[in-house]
Structure formats: structure tokens, C-alpha cells
Amino acid sequence: MNTIKPPILIIDDDEVDRYVLKRLIKETQLPLNIFEKKDGQEALDFLQNYEENKKEDPDGFPPVLIFLDINMPRVNGIQFLEEFAKLREIIEVDSCVVMMFSSSAREEEKEKIMTYDFVKDYLVKGSFKADELKEKLLSIIDFSLYEN
């Protein structure tokens, strides 16, 4: 039996929002290894600790997909994208893409988000169902790589 699941990361300060997303992911019945971080800073710390995390979990790190909220304390979604863009030049997270996950965004924020080519999609909280999510996940993650 295959134990290696594609790792994904949810960055959101709202516990309920994280629960809702996790539950929808569960409904898609796609095998995913979910990490959760409560704001941009925590997530950056987690990603910056690349070497150690990789050693500990060679197959489950780094995440292939990040669900990113915008409004968060300390480091918000936009600030995270800035830092993450820099981080991508140092560590091997090329295969990692971002899917925005927020209830609303301002125009200027949307413009900023669009400048990053590793941001693949924009999900509006509470406006999608499990099957839509499944489609999006399948288009981003190549599950065949994990089946052996």
C-alpha cells in the first residue's frame, strides 16, 4: 500500500476556515498530507527550516501546494508572497505553487497577487463545493507521481 501522499500547506489564522477547507479536502477523497500554519510568519519559519524538515520527512516536504489566506496577523498573505518569492530562489520549492484562499481581496491586492506566476488560482471562501475543489487539485497536483 502506498503511504506517500502529496504534502499541502494551509496558511490561515481562522480556525473555522481551516476546518472547513480540511473537511472539503477530505470530501474530495484525494490522498493529501495536510500541514497547517496560523499566519505568514509561522509558514515562513516552517519553510525556511527546509534542511531539517526535509531530513525528518524526505517525501512529505516541501509542500506542493499552499492555500493562502490574505488577512492574517503579523505577516499577511501579500507579505508572505513577497517573502516566498525570495525564498524560492534559495531553496528547492520550485514545484510548489500557491492557491489564494480568502473571502475578499482589494483591487490593489489582486493586482499584486497577479504578478507572481507561482500563484495558480483564487478561491473565494464559502463559494465552492468539494467537487470543484477536487477538479482544481487534480489540475495542479500530478497524483500519478505518487502512485507506485
Interacting residue ranges for other proteins, rule: CB under 8 A = 13-14, 16-17, 19-20, 23-24, 38-39, 71, 73-74, 103-104, 106, 125-127
CB nearer other proteins, residue 133 or residue 141 = 133
Handedness of CA 129, 95, 6, 52 (dihedral sign): negative
Q: How far apart are CA 83 and CA 44, in angstroms?
A: 8
* Residue number with CB closer to other proteins (91 or 121): 121
**Omega before 31 within 30 of 0, i.e. cis:** no
104 phi and psi angles, rounded to 5 deg? -165, 155
Give 62 or 77: the residue with its C-beta nearer to other proteins.
77
